[in-house]
Chain A
Amino acid sequence: MDLNPQTSMEKVTTRTTNEANKSAADTREAVIEMSHAKKSFGSKVVLEDVCMVLHRGENLVVLGKSGSGKSVNIKLITGMLVQDSGSVKVFGNEVKDLGEVELKALRIRIGFLFQSGALFDSMTVRQNMEFPLTRVLKLRDQAEIDQRVDEMLTSVGLLDAAAKTPSELSGGQRKRIGLARTLIMKPEIMLYDEPTTGLDPITSREISSLILEMQQKYQTSSVIITHDMACAKITADRIIVLNDGRFIAEGTYEELESSKDDLIQHFFK
């Protein structure tokens, strides 16, 4: 199976996605399997013949310039968008075939950190944290809810911000709270949509380190969409490069860094 038969990026010195998938699939459980997925909006093709595998406990970074289809890629995984053709399986279930109830059950196992943090403006930080516990997990024991909220806010170092509203927080704090709100559901898979965009380099590094720390603490498997190489370096076990809707290269940070391909080198400059 050749992912990109027509692309000039075949010359990339890193392994192909296919080879990597085959070798890894033998040893580790795949939690996400995307196979020949295509997605278009009208006449604009956003994803074309995309194949991707995420293994349990792995941090996979999807690298690509703006508009390359990175966000669409992870929205297919959550069922927020449906592919035109191909297959997207999460925990072995074909996402587009899931009914409303099954999709909800699947989404509870997946955490999604939005680029903006997507905190609910009308609620305080504590109410934001309680929202998924009371509305999704239907917890009623206030003591348990408080304990989980406090534990998670402590994990991201923002326990003292519990009474604040999102408008009183900085960009980095909003990302931390967004991460905490997602992790409070104890998801098995975390999807990060450009987690460091719009942050200064120091805060970006803090968020990247926090992602890694949380991944190790809560044993999640993660897909991190980014074009921030510092974030990729800190968080990635494996990197896939997306260009014009196709995956063009795959490898570790070091492997891609030594690539001779111009496009890939642009990310490292």
Chain B
Amino acid sequence: MKTYIRSASCISPQKTFRNEDFLNDIVEYTGTRLSTIEPDYKEFIDPKLIRRMSHVIKMGVAAAKDCLNQANAEMPGAIITGTALGCIEDTTTFLTRIIEQNEELLPPTAFIQSTHNTVAAQVALMLKCHGYNNTFVHKGISFESALIDAIMLLREREADNILVGGTEEMVDSSFKILTRLGLYRRQPTSNLELLSTEAKGSMGGEGAAFFLLSDKASPDNVAELSSIKTLYNINDIEVGITKFLAESNLKPDDIDLVITGKNGDMKNDSVYNQLGSSIFKNNNIANYKHLSGEYSTSSSFALWLAANIIKSGITPQAIIETKVNPKATKRVLIYNHYQHKYHSLMLVSAI
């Protein structure tokens, strides 16, 4: 059984939404974080509701609805999301009020919208979708866990047209804490130089990307999600990747493009550099985190990127690190790791 991507929609710090110019006009950010370019939410959400919604809910709902619209699908069979920190804006708001008001006279709205499943729930509510609905909240593999769930549902014939998304918002408090923890740079950088000026820390990012998955072949499908795997605390990633590819009867040289999770942090990037001179020495290599920023579900941006490269036949110049092979891009491997602990592998192929 195959898993096809029928449509993909992405709200990010780049002009990815509606994707009129596929990363041809890159937005530069100088500082320590990238923030999303907002679509006109009124197209997707009742203006009365927009005011009360946090950023992640708006992004999630708009990307989910746009994804359905692109596929001319009205009702998904299931809705599954991945998010590490969930509705962190509402969570922080409610927590701040508890402390500042000493637990007294608290308004409920922020609490109501603070649960991690709010995006999936709001999409279901707007569509009146009674189908399977789930939310995964596991650090750097939240989105991957959601995809694995969707693929199992397709295999089990429990649902078709499964809407799967990765969402994450960055707010001042979480950005500050993550910076103090060393995840992000303290000195301002241009995102266009993030990967060439290796230092300690990356740049912050955020976004929402949704995909409509089906097991039905169609010439309108964007790409095939051929395989996905997460590895935990693996000793030798080269062995892990080689084994993952072998399960699809492939060798590293069969991959037309490798998209890595390089983020400008020296410690983070060492493994990608090492692979670039070992198993991927004959591969075209691309990176994306200088465009999206670093956040826990950024692999959803990478999947959107891979799907669009395959569909359009274009590899945007801005993502290319090395181009050693002029072949058309029919097979893309995304390899991302989260703090060297969680490794995510996704294989995306032409239909």
Tell whether A pairs with B.
no
